[in-house]
Amino acid sequence: MPARYGKKLRVKLREVEKKSKKKYKCPSCSRTAIKRESNGVWVCSKCDTKYASGAFEFKG
C-alpha cells in the first residue's frame, strides 16, 4: 500500500473525529448542546431531544 494513501486516510479520520466531538445547535431549543450518543444518534443535553442523523456529523 502506498504511504500517501495512509496519510490521506489519517487526515480524513481526524476530521471525522473532530466533527463527531463537536457540539451542534439543537433545532428544538436553539442551544448548542447536541452531542453524539452513538452512531447516527444525537441527543440534546438541554432538552433531551434525540435525533437520528449522520453517523459522525449532525445534520439538523
Which one of residues 19, 23, 25, 29 is an interface residue with Zn ion (CB under 5 A)? Answer: 29
Q: Which stretch binds Zn ion (CB under 5 A): 1-9, 10-18, 26-34, 51-59?
A: 26-34
- Least distance CB 29 / Zn ion (angstroms): 3
Region for residue 33 given its phi and psi (left: phi exceeds 0; alpha: psi -120 to 50; beta: otherwise) = alpha
- Least distance CB 33 / Zn ion (angstroms): 6
Contacts of 24-27 with CB under 8 Å at 24 or more apart are 24/58, 24/60, 25/60, 26/60, 27/51, 27/60
- Least distance CB 31 / Zn ion (angstroms): 6
